[in-house]
Amino acid sequence: MSRVESKGKQQAQAIADAGGVMTHRQILFVIFGLMAGMFLSALDQTIVGTSMRTIADDLDGLSLQAWVTTAYLITSTIATPIYGKLSDIFGRRPLFIIAIVIFLVGSVAGGFSTSMYELAVFRAIQGLGAGGLMALPLAIMGDILAPRERAKYQGYFLATFGISSVIGPLIGGLFAGSPEILFITGWRWVFLVNLPVGAAALAIVLRFLHIPHTRRSVRIDWWGAATVVITLVPLLLVAEKGREWGWASAGSLACYVIGGLGAAAFVLSEKLMGDDALIPLKLFKNATFSMATVLGVLVGFGMFGAMMTIPLYLQLVDGVTPTQSGFLMIPMILGLMISSIVSGQVIARTGRYRVFPTIGTLFMSAGFFWFTFVTADKPLWFVMIGMLLVGLGLGQLMQTLTIASQNSVGPRDIGVATSSSTFFRQIGGTLGTAVLFSVLFTRIPDTIREAFADSSVIKGIRAAFNDPRVLADPNNKHIIDLLQQGQGGGGTVGTALDGDTSFLNHSDPRLAAPFLEGFSNAAVTVFWVALCVVLIAVVLSLFLKATPLRTKSALQENAAADAAVMAQKAANETGSPVAPDASDSR
């Protein structure tokens, strides 16, 4: 046994001997390990997103880039509940270490991809690790901290998320824009940079993440794992590719049928497995857990829709680079961090959280309502106000809904409850991205056609065509060719924003006006849809039953339960009565 492992076992035993009570110093050391893992996952997503266009160009697979994203999404979503359940059985630490190692293996392989197909496979491997990196930190927080205290520490994680969101696009842009770094193509460092970051995360986890765990003898829900794969793969696939295939195409219909049959089989298998199920159905008998889960789906819908649509708007309408659009999202990150820290402190001091889901969804609604007034000529500060409002709402929702879910279940189900909450939020995000992007690109031909009917737009285009400097400028060639084809009312021009849009940022503003105005108006439709979804969440949040927050952590409750079992055994052997447990976890 290594010295680190020996010392770690001693630390875990010391916590167990103390009845599951951890000192502030011990808690911070564990949190450092969790933050390292979360930073690895969060940084990867922002770096890859910024660099994907460059990667696709280099590997001659621009049309295949969606498969790279879809592969990662499918495996990370499927892995999330599996990690939660297995960590309840075998302990959080080994599963967290396995998740980091799998993620790093996928990163190394991705860095040496020679085709988009290979990259899609390697991103799928990364996703298998990312599912654990997303779910397990929240589950471990549920283990070591009482629900009432948990919110105080949430700021550490949001700071990690905020830092990665800010520096990720910058690093991604740097790598993507460098032809070569240390004799290796620049974009490959998007994946290879995970090695030093992951090695540091792994070292911190091995050194500091030591918490006691009592292994339980349970059945592993293989049927549940198999049926969740059968359910989600076709449904996530059609969510990502349905717009391209056609929502009523043979491929889409096949995905609906297979996914529906898989869902029915999943519910049946979970019912038969009872408490050993991957996602125990008993969790949904709790009104608080069920409502928090539904709210999580709706919030995920709105959150991912906003985080995908807004950067696209900034890049296309305002002409910023992908790296700059990452920086311009700072108001949303700041709003998220501020509201999360403030609500966390209030929850820790008062033990009350009932009001935050309602206030949070109202802030999100205000943000999306603000966005419905956006136009192509609105200044950047206008968009930033909307982002701040959405961020202020999200900060009150993300941690509060997780706390509500964890507080509604017993200490032995913390992992599965946390991963289920994360899982359904991801499902909501996937639906939001698919539905809102489908609405966006369905509306674009119509909104561009309407923009061409605007007399001021037509006047500007005619003035540009009468300017010899405009006609001679090579930056205007592509857009002039489109306009001269006489398809301004739709056709090729109507779908111009569904492909390479870089020509718009360099064209004469008068020629680009109908396209930018058309995209802006289509985005407004998206924001109206997101607003309606979040307003439903506002109404449902009023029915969330806020059970009193427990004042003991899962470790403390498990230690007390184990002590009670031992006392009962001793009493049975001696014939002495056992005093009732006076401890109350509420």
On the question of pLDDT at 50 being above 90, the answer is no
Looking at per-residue pLDDT, the higher value among 245 and 104 belongs to: 104
On the question of pLDDT at 89 being above 90, the answer is no
Residues ≥6 apart with Cβ < 8 Å to 157: 34, 35, 38, 137
Backbone angles phi, psi at 377, to 5 degrees: -100, 10
181: helix, coil or strand?
strand
Check residue 8 and give its pLDDT.
Answer: 56
What is the C-alpha to C-alpha distance for residues 97 and 248, in angstroms, rounded to an integer? 43
Residues 501-544 pLDDT 10s: 566 666 767 777 778 888 888 888 989 999 999 999 999 999 98
Would you say 271 and 281 are in contact if contact means Cβ atoms under 8 Å apart? yes
What is the C-alpha to C-alpha distance for residues 444 and 517, in angstroms, rounded to an integer? 10
* Residue-wise burial string across 569-583, b where 16 or more C-beta atoms lie within 10 A, e elsewhere: eeeeeeeeeeeeeee
- List beta partners, residue 30: none
Check residue 578 and give its pLDDT.
Answer: 53
What six digits make up the tokens of 572?
């049975």
What is the C-alpha to C-alpha distance for residues 271 and 277, in angstroms, rounded to an integer? 8
Nearest to 239 by CA among 429, 75, 421: 429
Residue 208 CA: distances (Å) to CA of 7, 26, 176, 212, 504: 10, 8, 35, 13, 51
What is the C-alpha to C-alpha distance for residues 100 and 106, in angstroms, rounded to an integer? 10
| Amino acid letter, 176 | A
What percent of the chain has a predicted confidence (pLDDT) above 70?
A: 80
Task: Give, as one character, the DSSP assignment of residue 184.
Answer: E
250: helix, coil or strand?
helix
Backbone angles phi, psi at 269, to 5 degrees: -65, -35
Residues 406-441 pLDDT 10s: 888 877 777 788 888 888 888 888 778 778 877 887
Q: What is the 3-state secondary structure (H, E, C) of 543-579?
A: CCCCCCCCCCCHHHHHHHHHHHHHHHHHHHHHCCCCC
Residues written for the chain: 586
What six digits make up the tokens of 333?
């990150």
Residues 244-289 pLDDT 10s: 788 788 888 998 999 899 989 989 988 888 877 888 888 888 888 8
On the question of pLDDT at 579 being above 80, the answer is no
Check residue 501 and give its pLDDT.
Answer: 59
Looking at per-residue pLDDT, the higher value among 366 and 74 belongs to: 366
On the question of pLDDT at 487 being above 60, the answer is no
185: helix, coil or strand?
strand
Residues 373-383 pLDDT 10s: 988 888 889 99
Rounded-to-10 torsion of CA 70, 74, 75, 81: 150
486, with CB counted inside 10 A (0-12, 13-18, 19+), is exposed
Domains of the chain: 1-216 (1.20.1250.20), 222-277 (no CATH), 446-524 (no CATH), 552-586 (no CATH)
What is the C-alpha to C-alpha distance for residues 102 and 385, in angstroms, rounded to an integer? 40
78: helix, coil or strand?
helix
180: helix, coil or strand?
strand
Confidence of residue 490 (pLDDT cuts 50, 70, 90): very low
On the question of pLDDT at 500 being above 60, the answer is no
Q: Name residue, tokens 């360099």.
A: 506
